[in-house]
Structure 1
Amino acid sequence: MDLQLKDKVVLVSGGAKGIGEAIVRSLASEGAIPVIIGRNPIDNYKLENEIIQAGGRCSSIIAELSNPAECEKVVSEAVNIYGKIDGLVNNAGLNDGVGLESGNYESFMQSIHNNLVHYYLLAHYALPYLKKTKGSIVNISSKTGITGQGETSGYAASNGGRNALTREWAVELLKYQIRVNAVVVAECWTPQYERWIQTLPNAEETLADINSRVPLENRMTKASEIASTVVFLLSEKSSHTTGQLLFVDGGYVHLDRALLRQ
């Protein structure tokens, strides 16, 4: 299917690794121009060069998105290069384990900055350009904002905020024909997830148990499966879809747990 994304400029925060990398690769395969946003220049340039060497177009911008000024800089740099922005994917974040009992004010607020505030700021600064192109915003969210997880208040609050902002922005931006949607992730295999699993004393057993709890095929979601949905939402093929929280999770959040006993 031709998603008609050729030459569309799309910002992807956290675009060098994991889900973000998969989104960048999927965009490039559709002829779009992904702009990788990340704090690690080596990771950024590695992916950028791979895409260019494969015949695609891509740029990268180094930024620490917990710094509000750098969010504005990202948008300015992208516009200086391409003169427009057609889409924004808010993806960067980390399940940092800032809990209620174990956390404190400073760590909680830092978690909100690391996981939510830059979603707002990138959208805010990109908005004048998205208005010109009638572009689209996709927010990557997590099941923690729906189900809770325990001992991760900052991350859960941030994802609840991501979901709420998706609906709020969809309403506010109707008059500009800017669509806003979210993709909610549950158990997705990424380098970050793999690093966490490897810290556990019973890593293989834990991974097998997690896989068994995913109703569809008893496996984790692939980053490429998240990416395919994101790219579809950015395209005109989803031209009447806005304000939606799409769960790409193999039924993890909503299907009956009784299925696991069958």
Structure 2
Amino acid sequence: MNLNLTNKVILISGGAKGIGGAISRGLIEEGAIPVMIDPSEKEGAAILTLGESFQIPIRLFEAIDSEKAVKLTLEKYGRIDGLVNNAGANDSVGLENGSPEAFEKSVAKNLNHYYHLAHYALPHLKLSKGSIINISSKTAVTGQGGTSGYTAAKGAQLSLTREWAVELLPYQITVNAIIPAEVYTPLYENWIKTFPNPEQRLAEITAKIPLGKRMTTPEEIAAMAIFLLSDKAAHITGQHLFVDGGYTHLDRAL
């Protein structure tokens, strides 16, 4: 299937490793140009060798950081055809084990740059009739416990997906969310290692994933993202798409 992504310029926050890295690599394979907004220079350098791509090695703390990323992209390529909001981390700021200050910081860290990047990229997405994808998390709909800030941000991302899909209808900009569950990324590996017996804990989790008793791969999340960025998905908008092996909705007793 020709996805018609050749030379399309796609912004990806956290685009150098994990799910974002898989999306960047997949876009290069399709002839698109990923712009990785990610301070992980070693991982980014490996992707840069695969084909036309660009890395902006900054963290998106303030609105000015997102504005800079958009400006640098336009200076190099002159256009933006898509945006993948992906960067974030489950920082375990809970109700009992957190504080109001920590909660506010967690929400800001995981949510604000989604809005900032979309805001600054919007004039150029209007020109290209592009797409926005928000990478959320199953924790937004299932809860997890002990991570109020992260889940609040992830739930807001799902809400903004529908809100932006409505607001941007006149410009034929599609907006969708992808909801992963258990994906073995570097951040997930770090979390698993916090348990006394990491291998046992990982086996317990994968045993509860209905389809294949295995984790979703970053490349499987990337495949959905790349499809949604393409012309083939031009009439899909406002959707929350679960790529999780049935983990969220199917009976885990299966």
TM-score by length of 1: 0.95
CA distance in 2: counterparts of 1:254 and 1:42, whole angstroms:
37
Task: Give the drift of 1:11.
Answer: 0.3
C-alpha distance in structure 1 between counterparts of 2:164 and 2:217, whole Å: 28
Residue correspondence of structure 1 range 1-16 to structure 2 within 5 A: 1-16=1-16
**Residues matched between the structures, number:** 254
Superposed CA deviations along residues 168-224 of structure 1, whole A, max 9, x for unmatched, are: 000000000000001001000111111221221111111111000100000000000
Please give the root-mean-square deviation of Cα atoms over the aligned residues, in Å. Answer: 0.9
For residues 41 and 188 of structure 1, what CA distance do their matches in structure 2 show?
A: 22
Which residues of structure 2 form unaligned runs of 5+?
A: none
1:17 aligns with 2:12: no
Q: Following TM superposition, where does structure 1 have runs of at least 4 consecutive aligned residues deviating by more than 4 angstroms?
A: none
SS in 2 for 1:221: coil
After TM superposition, the structure 1 = structure 2 runs for residues 96-175 of structure 1, keeping only pairs within 5 Å, are 96-175=91-170
Determine the C-alpha separation between the residues in 2 that align with 1:214 and 1:23: 23
SS at match of 1:139: strand
1:174-253 superposed matches below 5 A = 174-253=169-248
The aligned amino acid for 2:206 is: N
In the other structure, the counterpart of 1:30 is: 30
State the shift of 1:62 in Å.
Answer: 1.7
Q: Does the CA-based 8 Å contact 2:208-2:253 persist in structure 1?
A: no
Residue 47, structure 1, aligned to residue 47, structure 2:
yes
Amino acid at match of 2:22: A
Please tell me whether the aligned partners of residues 37 and 44 of structure 1 are also in contact (alpha carbons under 8 angstroms): no
Deviation at 1:257, TM superposition (A): 3.0
- C-alpha separation between the residues in 1 aligned to 2:40 and 2:239? 31
So what's the TM-score if we normalise by structure 2? Answer: 0.98
Write the letter of the residue equivalent to 1:22.
Answer: A
Identity percentage of aligned residues: 58
What CA distance in whole angstroms lies between the structure 1 residues aligned with 2:75 and 2:100? 38
